[in-house]
Amino acid sequence: MSTASMALTSPVFLMPDPEWPASLPTDSTPSGAVDESSDVESVRLMLRVKEGDVRAFERLVELHQRTIIGTVARMLNSVDDAHDVAQQVFIRIWRSAPRYEPSAKFTTWMFTITRNLVFNELRKRNRRKEVSIEQENEDEPPKQYASLTSPAPDEISQQTELENALDHAISMLPEKQRLAVVMRRYEDVPYEQICEVLGMSLPAVKSLLFRARAELRKHLASYLGEAAPE
């Protein structure tokens, strides 16, 4: 698809690395979520993309690239990999355009595409990790790794230390918990939309988030001055 390639390599697809807030997930923290009027605009643009309008596609990328890159970066704990996966998301959107029907919010559809690609990438990583561990156990003694959640105080500031700890704690969550936390905490996605993206009921999503937050607090107890739950 030459038109998709042209749009994806245009300057609007490039952006600064997203900032990662360091506080624990809560429902009240502001974010860059897409509001109703923006979603209506996205549907309008997508219907033009369906007709082959490359400029409309470029505008769509410009509107949503920060959300997608930020979400994927937090899921994969890597900004570089996030740009690669985000590009795949927009390529998938372009290729799906001829079959697009505005039966749901555009952002729900976009997040569902993102979920599929991110979960696939996480599973590939897990398989590679398993192979790597097996080879390591066969070929050499186990290595000693420095703690990722307790960096030396004289190496980085307290704020950066907490941010790193939070990033690591989120990366340790199961994939559905991780995506639910990222969507709710960082993108302010409504519960109902998270339900659609994850294919879960509202009580199930709320329970998922409750368990995720409890796990995050346990990992960050030493940074927050709390006793770790039993």
Q: What is the CATH number of the domain that holds 53?
A: 1.10.1740.10
Count of domains observed in the chain: 2
- Give the N- to C-terminal CA distance of the chain in Å, as an integer: 54
The whole-angstrom separation of Cα 44 and Cα 53 is 11
107 lies in some domain: yes
Domain with 207 in it: what CATH number? 1.10.10.10
213 and 162 within one domain = yes
Q: Are residues 90 and 197 in the same domain?
A: no
> Do you know the residue count of the chain?
230
Q: What is the pLDDT along the chain (230 residues), one digit of tens a residue?
A: 444 444 444 334 433 333 333 344 344 333 444 567 788 999 999 999 999 999 999 999 999 999 999 999 999 988 889 999 999 999 999 999 999 999 889 999 999 999 999 999 999 887 776 555 445 545 554 443 334 444 445 444 677 777 788 888 888 999 999 999 999 988 999 999 999 999 999 999 999 999 999 999 998 887 776 554 44
Give the chain's mean pLDDT: 78
The answer to whether residue 141 is domain-embedded is: no
For residues 58 and 153, give the distance between their C-alpha atoms in angstroms, rounded to a whole number: 44
| Per-residue CA distances from 94 to 9, 88, 97, 135 (Å) | 14, 10, 5, 40
Assess if residue 140 is contained within a domain.
Answer: no
Shared domain for 210 and 103, answered yes or no, is no
Residue 136 maps to a domain: no
Same domain, yes or no: 100 and 196: no
Do the Cβ atoms of 189 and 33 come closer than 8 Å?
A: yes
Q: Does 87 map to a domain?
A: yes
User: 143 lies in a domain?
Assistant: no
Residue 138 falls inside a structural domain: no
* 97 and 6 within one domain: yes
How far apart CA 119 and CA 117 sit, in angstroms, is 6
Domain that holds residue 95: 2-15+32-117
Do residue 82 and residue 178 come from a single domain? no
Token duo for residue 158: 């307290």
**Are 101 and 161 in the same domain?**
no
**Residue 134 resides in a domain:** no
